Amino acid sequence: MFRLEPLAPGTGAMCLPIQGGSQSPTDRFDPNKPIDEEATIKMIEYTIIQGVNYFDTAYVYHGEKSEPALGKALKGYRDKVMLATKLPVMLTTKREDFDRFLDEQLKKLDTNYLDVYLLHGLNRQNWVRMKELGVLKFLDQIQKDGRARYVGFSFHDDVRIFKEIVDSYDWMLCQIQYNYYDEHYQAGREGLIYAASKGLGVVVMEPLRGGKLADPIPEEIRAIWDSAKVKRTPAEWGLRWV
């Protein structure tokens, strides 16, 4: 059975630095707010030096500007890292879209192959639609022609549909939301254990819930943390749990 070797920590490219320095959720998802490419390159170089070797992006991030920015930042490092992006399931309406999007993404990322290609944000509705369009044959094809080394899916729905998707194909990895607040949310811990039992690699998104685990902290939780012998920030508690 296929098993993905353990990876060093990864980083996502949904919230890259933007010009002007703002990192508010509104600005990060505003396609008219340009990415600060110089700051992004410095950030990516720093993370690689610190041992990060898995970089995740998607077609729709930053108003479709994340992939080219990450491609520039990884120039000179491509053979040292694993690069993942995602098929924009939400924009796909016909079989021809699969190849069109992937070829466009390879060009944007300035690479001739992806280490990981994920179906983006599967749920019950779009999973049925993707199967009807023949996405599983497409995944077979891109592994054979070398455009993607590993294939998988990211997920946002309940654990029952998660297990159904896991059992439907010889996936290599999945990406789920997981943190100490979301231990039983969506796929959750039950899905994580199930995927691992099937030999899938599991990539975690939202380990700090987009920063929401750090601020604001309820007083009763802060009191528990303050009683600990070792003092840690909210982010450190979240990462320690992960």
In terms of pLDDT, which residue wins out, 239 or 6?
239
Mean pLDDT of the chain: 92
**SS3 assignment for the chain:** CCCCCCCCCEEECCCCCECCCCCCHHHHCCCCCCECHHHHHHHHHHHHHCCCCEEECCCCHHHHCHHHHHHHHCCCCHHHCEEEEEECHHHCCCCHHHHHHHHHHHHHCCCCCEEEEEEEEECHHHHHHHHHHCHHHHHHHHHHCCCEEEEEEEECCCHHHHHHHHCCCCCCEEEEECCCCCCCCCCHHHHHHHHHHCCCEEEEECCCHHHCCCCCCCHHHHHHHHCCCCCCCHHHHHHHHC
Task: Indicate the pLDDT class of residue 72, thresholds 50, 70 and 90.
Answer: very high
In terms of pLDDT, which residue wins out, 173 or 21?
173
144, 84: one domain: yes
Does residue 5 fall inside a structural domain? no
pLDDT, position 29: 64
| Residue percentage of the chain with pLDDT more than 90 | 80
Task: Indicate the pLDDT class of residue 2, thresholds 50, 70 and 90.
Answer: very low
200, 242: one domain: no
Does residue 4 fall inside a structural domain? no
124, 231: one domain: no
Give the domain extent around 108.
10-207
Does residue 119 fall inside a structural domain? yes
35, 121: one domain: yes
In terms of pLDDT, which residue wins out, 100 or 216?
100
240, 136: one domain: no
189, 93: one domain: yes
Q: How many domains does the chain have?
A: 2
30, 142: one domain: yes
pLDDT higher than threshold 80 for residue 28? no
183, 156: one domain: yes
Does residue 47 fall inside a structural domain? yes
